[in-house]
Amino acid sequence: MNTNAMQRADFAAIANWIKPAARVLDLGCGDGTLLRFLAEQRDTIGYGVEIDDAGVLACVTNGVNVIQGDMERGLSGFADDSFDYVILSQTLQAVRSSERVVSEMLRVGREGIVTFPNFGYWRNRLQVMSGHMPVSDNLPYAWFDTPNIHLCTIADFENFCRDHGVRIRERIVITDGNAVTLMPNLFGALAVYRFERA
Amino acid sequence: MVGHITYLSDDEMASKFGRQLRHGRLNYTFGVEFEIESYLSHQADKFSDYFDANTYLRITKALDYFDPAAAHGGNLSLALEPATASFLVVSFTTDWRFSPERSREIIKALLDNRRNVTYAEIDAPHGHDAFLLDDARYHGLVAAYFGRVGAESGA
């Protein structure tokens, strides 16, 4: 979560969706790179939520507003509809209570934005077929030290949305920095969604 | 002495004093028997030298009377509405004198007003006293924040 904005193709996709001067909440914001990028590109009023001391310190150094806390304990400090967008960037797969986090995102924000590594990407499938857990640029961890406990595919996430009253507004699927339109659940490495309450 | 206890934390007092005895055994008197009693009565003596007792009572009452939201029907968000500054709010997990819960109320009020605010909750064992001690995370954060203020104001 601490990589440079230039290396994060999903950042550009997110910035394209966000309206100028919007209020943005970034859950698990790390060092605040995305919020800083959005403030520069879209003049947003942004806040991050981060649990880790080093992340909070880095946000302060980056000039990004950050609230230290555990997003999994709910967003009770944030009022209903108090943000235009609530973002969960490459973190959905690492949260324990995915349903609760998504529902809190849509309570606090008018729209939610998530990005996650697509487990259905052919390279991941190939590694599983060869008998191993996938390790790649988007899934850089070994099975024993990964924070990713709720990996899913594009098809899984879309089923989840359908079953949980979430309406998908836009989707971008990215592989090696390029948009993928053909069979995205097979050829897409990274999925980026914008959604709202159905 | 009760006041002094609120500056410390449960863990801090347990590790410093626990149930250690002043004279090695229980005497079943109303005198000082535990080390913690000895420490607190020593602090109380120091306090009564530093402060006039009536002044201290008055300060304590002033703290009780202080309610930043009182003039706004108990609504802290309304009270902070005129504020234009950026805020850094720091709390310590073991502080029961001014608990993280109170700091979170301030954060909520500032968020309601869309103010620039950063909040850090530092996991320190020293209770309220932590803000006087040399905690690397706390000092690092304040230094980074002031560094940022300096950079933005061109100092």
**What is the reported pTM?**
0.87
Partners of A27 in beta bridges = A49, A88
Q: What are the pLDDT digits (tens) for B58-116?
A: 988 998 999 999 999 999 999 999 999 999 999 999 998 889 999 999 999 999 999 99
The answer for B 46-85 residues in CB contact with A (under 8 A) is none
Query: Which structure tokens are listed for A25?
Result: 């909440």
Global ipTM: 0.87
Q: Is B35 exposed, middle or buried (0-12, 13-18, 19+ CB in 10 A)?
A: middle
Q: How far is A79 from chain B (nearest CA, A)?
A: 8
For residue A1, name the pLDDT band (cuts at 50, 70, 90): very low
Q: Do B107 and A23 touch (CB under 8 A)?
A: no
Give the nearest partner residue to B119 out of A57, A61, A67, using CB atoms. A67
Query: What was the pLDDT predicted at B155?
Result: 62
Which of A31-35, A179-183, B92-96 is least confident? B92-96
Query: To 10 degrees, what angle do helices A33-42 and A53-62 make?
Result: 30
